[in-house]
Amino acid sequence: MQKHTIMVCDHIHESGLKMLESQPDINYINAADLPKDELLKVVGQADVVITRSSTEINEAFLNAATNLKALVRAGVGVDNVDIDGCSKRGIIVMNVPTANTIAAVELTMAHMLGCMRSFPYAHNHLKLERVWKREKWYGYELKDKKLGIIGFGNIGSRVGKRAKAFEMDVITYDPYINPSKATDLGIEYTTNFDDILACDIITIHTPKTQETIGIIGKKEIDKMKEGVVLINCARGGLYDEEALYEGLKNGKIRFAGIDVFVKEPATDNPLLDLDNITVTPHLGANTHESQYKIATQAAQQALDAARGISYPNALNLPIRENEIPDFVKPYLDLMQKIGFLAAQANRGAIKSLKIVGEGEIGEFVESLATFATVGALKESLGETINYVNADFVAKERGIDVVKVSSPTAGAYKSIIRLRLTTDKEVIEISGTIFNDDVQRIVEINGFTLDVEPKGRMILFKNTDVPGVIGDVGQILAKYNVNIADFRLGRDKSGLALAVILVDNDVSEEVLKELDALKASIYVKYVIL
Ligand SMILES: NC(=O)c1ccc[n+]([C@@H]2O[C@H](COP(=O)([O-])OP(=O)(O)OC[C@H]3O[C@@H](n4cnc5c(N)ncnc54)[C@H](O)[C@@H]3O)[C@@H](O)[C@H]2O)c1
Ligand SMILES: O=C(O)[C@H](O)COP(=O)(O)O
């Protein structure tokens, strides 16, 4: 039995570990307790890894992970993963997007309440210092305060709902959502960031991207109300930490609730020296319920990926299987075969690929191009080319990939065409699907045909003179090569192209003999 290795690089709930341990085809390695430099020495064994935010998936990791095919981030944020680096290497990156939503939402509410009532400070005063001083701990209420939410996705929107239950006035800024997502909940939607800066409390729930790093800095804090409260349970660095420190120190920011830091573990962070901040060590996802869900989902995703079954929540696959209509799938499969066929029939350094989708299939030309590229490069790169790295590899090799779509397809409902140009020649192949799933090559280099693309195929171009078919048949018979199907295309200039499907392997000797026929223009042999 072929065994796949799944390595767990960070601590996940034992429910997920048990799922991995119990699989006969899985070699499971728990490397969560290894120091990260030690991890690099063993990660080369892994086909699939499961990680959390504590493992940096950078160049050094990827260079060490020589067998890695897929990575499961057991959580939401992938700012610790070099996704481009993974894509270049054909590594599929998945996350587990919603399993920790509630945990993060509730921690955000806890921080908000903690900030309003100085909860941890009052607690420590009594518990650690044994001081009973009720008048020292007057707090503030959430009711009637205005909450500004930056980022209204899974977490932000649920924070909004809960804030409404506290009778807060809520406004959100998220340029990427349909405003009705907020307004349907009675939450104001704004495209003016200053509306957020004018709030009593501000919380952020965006991913960490070039656009959101430092989205709150000194300039923004200057515009805020005196005594504003800031919450960050999303990612360190969304609030510029120096500006946050300054604002807390000079009292412009009355209080902050912070779960995440630029550098973690954050035991040396100057923010910890302040006494108007509540901090937690990146606990947003750390509830029993959420970690159980994340670990079991991550383990299942890792198992499916290791076995090549599916890649749920893949972030760098250009095509999401569940978003592709059923009628498109056989065209994609056919396009990959056409790419493979074309590259075998026209060996050499590929210069360009022109992918055309006509008719209904036209709008899926991007996906057709990915499949054509995989097919065309499979001849030279074998299994190292896949749907994740196809675009990168084509670019790296200087292959010009041209995509054309047209709403009409002549006599067909849809037709797909590939023109593959190498340093030697050009080949053009077109295909279509009949009766929903019957694949057919309908044209090769201008010759109209009707061939099922499968198995061993001889392409024989010749001058269209009497006796050629008989000669070809005789040679194949002489070498015990059985003909399964013989399709002929002819053109007006007196040339013909035969596509001969055969049951047995065809040797060089046979091909040479066919090519030696007087009528022969070329002989090509391909295997699909
Ligand atoms: N502290 C924790 O342990 C913890 C736990 C879970 C999630 N998180 C983090 O919380 C964040 C949100 O997670 P989610 O599950 O809600 O993600 P999500 O993808 O559901 O929502 C993110 C939202 O941010 C919006 N957004 C993106 N760029 C924006 C911008 N420039 N301005 C305003 N809005 C923008 C998106 O449109 C989206 O609606 C992520 O950074 C995630 O890593 C942290
Ligand atoms: O993005 C996330 O899912 C959270 O920040 C949780 O990260 P963690 O798995 O490292 O706790």
Q: In this predicted complex, what is the ipTM?
A: 0.99
Pocket lining for ligand 1, CB < 6 angstroms: 76-77, 100-101, 104, 150-156, 173-177, 205-208, 211-212, 233-235, 259-260, 282, 284-285
Query: Which is nearest to 512 in space by CA: 471, 470, 475?
Result: 475
Between CA 524 and CA 500 the distance in angstroms is 10
Q: What is the mean pLDDT of each run of 10 residues along the chain (528 residues)?
A: 94 97 95 97 98 97 97 96 92 94 98 97 97 97 98 96 98 92 96 98 95 96 98 98 98 98 97 98 98 98 90 81 84 96 92 97 95 92 84 91 93 95 94 92 95 95 93 95 94 93 94 95 94
Element (H, E) at 350: strand 350-359
DSSP letters for 445-482: TTEEEEE---SEEEEEEEE--TTHHHHHHHHHHHTTPP
Task: Report the predicted TM-score, pTM, of the whole model to 2 decimal places.
Answer: 0.79
Q: Which residue has the tokens 């799922």?
A: 19
Residue 427 pairs in a beta bridge with 420
Q: Which phi and psi (to 5°) does residue 435 adopt?
A: 45, 45
Radius of gyration of the chain (CA): 31
Of 13, 89, 235, 419, the active-site residue reads 235
Pocket lining: 282 vs ligand 2, CB cutoff 6 Å = yes
Ligand 2 center from residue 53 Cα (angstroms): 6
DSSP letter at 26? E
CA angle 303, 306, 312 (to 5 degrees): 65
Provide CB contacts within 8 A for 375, sequence distance 6+.
Answer: 335, 336, 337, 338, 339, 340, 341, 342, 343
Q: Are 305 and 70 in contact (CB under 8 A)?
A: yes
Q: Is 264 a catalytic residue?
A: yes
Report the topology of domain 4-99+290-306: Rossmann fold (3.40.50)
Parse the chain into domains and list their residue ranges.
4-99+290-306, 101-279, 321-527
Q: Is 125 a catalytic residue?
A: no
Q: Which residue has the tokens 């804090």?
A: 221
Task: Report the side by side order of strands in the sheet with 92-95.
Answer: 26-30, 4-8, 48-51, 70-73, 92-95
Between CA 337 and CA 528 the distance in angstroms is 7
Between CA 372 and CA 190 the distance in angstroms is 43
Of 106, 188, 242, 264, the active-site residue reads 264
Secondary structure of residue 528 in the 3-state scheme: coil
Residue 146 pairs in a beta bridge with 169
- pLDDT score, position 210: 87
Best residue among 102, 172, 206 to mutate for probing ligand 1's pocket (most ligand atoms within 8 Å of CB) is 206
The pLDDT tens digits for 202-240 are 999 999 988 899 999 999 999 999 999 999 999 999 999
Between CA 363 and CA 324 the distance in angstroms is 11
Best residue among 54, 76, 105 to mutate for probing ligand 2's pocket (most ligand atoms within 8 Å of CB) is 76
Q: Are 236 and 260 in contact (CB under 8 A)?
A: yes
- pLDDT score, position 410: 86
Does 101-279 match 4-99+290-306 at the fold level?
yes
Q: Whose CA is nearest to atom 35 of ligand 1?
A: 151
Secondary structure of residue 525 in the 3-state scheme: strand
Between CA 392 and CA 377 the distance in angstroms is 12
Between CA 107 and CA 111 the distance in angstroms is 6
Between CA 503 and CA 423 the distance in angstroms is 32
Q: Which amino acid is at 50?
A: I
Q: Around Cβ 517, how many Cβ atoms within 10 Å?
A: 17
The overall average pLDDT reported for the chain is 95
Provide CB contacts within 8 A for 367, sequence distance 6+.
Answer: 318, 319, 324, 328, 332
- pLDDT score, position 1: 78
Q: Around Cβ 84, how many Cβ atoms within 10 Å?
A: 10
Report residue 503 as tokens. Answer: 């049951």
Q: Is 205 a catalytic residue?
A: no
Q: Which phi and psi (to 5°) does residue 122 adopt?
A: -65, -40
What Å distances lie between residue 323 and 25, 150, 257, 319, 367, CA to CA?
30, 28, 39, 8, 11
Dihedral angle sign, alpha carbons of residues 432, 434, 438, 443: negative
Report residue 340 as tokens. Answer: 């493979």
Between CA 192 and CA 194 the distance in angstroms is 5
- pLDDT score, position 409: 85
Cis peptide before 265 (omega within 30 of 0): yes
- Which CATH number is associated with domain 321-527? 3.30.1330.90
- pLDDT score, position 322: 67
Q: Around Cβ 403, how many Cβ atoms within 10 Å?
A: 15
The pLDDT tens digits for 339-380 are 999 999 998 889 999 999 999 999 999 999 999 999 999 888
Q: Around Cβ 133, how many Cβ atoms within 10 Å?
A: 10
Q: Whose CA is nearest to atom 10 of ligand 2?
A: 53
Report residue 501 as tokens. Answer: 């499907």
Between CA 153 and CA 316 the distance in angstroms is 20
Report the topology of domain 101-279: Rossmann fold (3.40.50)
